[in-house]
Amino acid sequence: MRFFAAAAVIVLGAGAASAECLRVAAPHEVRCLPMRGGSFQLSWIHSVERTEWRETYRVDSGQVILTASEFSSAGAGLPDCLLPGEVFHNRSGRMWIDHRHIPIRDLRIRLSPLSHHVLHVDGRDLDLTALFGESVVSIGVQREGTPDETAPGSARRRALLRVVGPRG
């Protein structure tokens, strides 16, 4: 099958166009993931500390906003000070920063099997490296999506959505 556009837009979800979706763009492909709850999480294994890091984002008027960060080691990449209103917690070996409000203009992620990036949206856990390979993706908001063979129940969708384990 030939693509005459630079990228194919694929919706993973309800089969009908969504009013708002999470747009994940790789160099040769774009996917639009329906987002009913208005928030999503991104988790990965820190490349230096080798521990899980998880960030929570919400979408407000088309803008992606970082609202919380959770981690289990105090190493490279850890914020060195809290912004006004942020709260730091440390319980049972897990640390997190709540009440964040950091607008993200351009959320870009370098995918690698070493870091195992997983996007958590609407109860689904999507292994981004399995979907896009080793590449750089950008995540943003798109107003509309286009339905295709990745609708619920299709064999193509099951192949694309790999459950990566229980959420914790």
Q: Which two tokens stand for residue 145?
A: 């999506």
Q: Which residue from 129, 119, 124 is spatially nearest to 26, judged by alpha carbons?
A: 129
Dihedral of the alpha carbons of 95, 55, 60, 112, in degrees to the nearest 10: 170
CB 135 within 8 Å of CB 111: yes
Mean pLDDT in residue range 122-148: 82
pLDDT-derived band at 134 (thresholds 50, 70, 90) equals very high
Q: Where are the domains of the chain?
A: 9-160
Is 133's pLDDT higher than 70? yes
Amino acid identity, residue 97? I
What's residue 160's pLDDT?
53
Mean pLDDT in residue range 126-140: 92
State the average pLDDT for the chain.
Answer: 75
Per-residue pLDDT tens over the stretch 96-126: 899 999 999 889 999 988 888 999 998 889 9
Is 50's pLDDT higher than 50? yes
Mean pLDDT in residue range 18-38: 83
Spatial separation of the C-alpha atoms in residues 136 and 148, rounded to whole Å: 24
- Please write down the long-range contacts of 111-116, taking CB distance under 8 Å and 24 or more positions apart: 111/135, 111/136, 111/137, 112/47, 114/45, 114/47, 115/44, 115/45, 115/46, 115/47, 116/44, 116/45, 116/164
Spatial separation of the C-alpha atoms in residues 160 and 131, rounded to whole Å: 7
